[in-house]
Structure 1
């Protein structure tokens, strides 16, 4: 039986491939896509997710926009890698997949509450939407099968010597005693 999955992303190039792989993998049931400001501002990441699903012919998965930036500091983007719109280079078609009127955290909460089984969350961008969900709706934590986050490295970071970009964008600053 396929695992129900929510992809929480900030499409750039890498996340578009993640969406396509999740939508086409027989072991996964892509039930929702949520977006976050990260590689580029939220308006672009949301449009890019809708375009990626449109191009793949995936029209039955809701897409909702989430946090425009980190919890406690300004958004740091990566246009120098992904281009101004996050998918720099090709002329992009207009998306045919509509934008869901709910916020990302509302959509995630609704999916978790409606699912007959726990849902996996795959976060391929800053994890801000998931932090907001767990802060505001902690009772839903048990409805999450697992959270898989593209947010680390075993040797070195891609944004600083130690930080991977997604972890760098929205770390909750720690205080030292």
Structure 2
């Protein structure tokens, strides 16, 4: 995940509202990969694409919704998390969203370091307290329900973890560090 948005209000209704939140999740769809021109020209083209998505609706297969109707709208993707509370007393707290997102990003960064070392042909050298058992604990904390966890929190956690691809990365890093321990 690259960005998180806590949205207080959007001046749009109905399908446009949902499309706007989903566009925040994957903003790169507004820009062509092979686009040329001045920044102003690129912005003008992105604005036309955005207006079309708002008018016609925007869905993306990599977006995972986790909101509860009338309480909050939430969605996560590879590149972003968006949450808009509607009932402030019943919705997730901002700190819950931030804590989950930061935990996932930190674990992702650590597993990416291990991946880079492996792909460079080396064995990762990590302190024992941050070895495979540590990562196994991280995987458990990020993928296992807690007795007092609300369904909203579980849905948010599962959406963020699944769209990040973190479980595959954790499994690979755990296997790698176990192999290094055996040598």
Q: Which has the larger radius of gyration?
A: 2
Name the structure where helix makes up a greater proportion of residues.
2
With the shorter chain as reference, the TM-score category is: under 0.3
If the length of structure 1 is used for normalisation, what is the TM-score? 0.24
